Amino acid sequence: MRNVRISIRAGKSLDKIIEYLEKEWSKKVKDNFIIKLDKSINQIKNFPESFVKSVSKSKVLLMEVPMN
- Average pLDDT of the segment spanning 15-34: 95
Q: Does residue 55 register a pLDDT over 90?
A: no
Asked if residue 19 is part of any domain, the answer here is yes
Q: What is the dihedral of CA 7, 54, 45, 12, to 10 degrees?
A: 20
Question: What does DSSP assign to residue 49?
Answer: G
**What stretches of 1-68 show up as alpha helix (H) in DSSP?**
8-20, 27-46
What separation, in Å, do the N-terminal and C-terminal C-alpha atoms of the chain show?
A: 15
Task: Answer whether 0.75 is exceeded by the pTM.
Answer: no
Q: Does residue 63 register a pLDDT over 90?
A: no
Between 54 and 17, where is the model more confident?
Answer: 17
Per-residue pLDDT band for 2 (boundaries 50, 70, 90) equals confident
Domain count, the chain: 1
Asked if residue 67 is part of any domain, the answer here is no
Query: Which residues span the domain enclosing 44?
Result: 3-50
What integer pLDDT is reported at residue 6 of this predicted model? Answer: 85
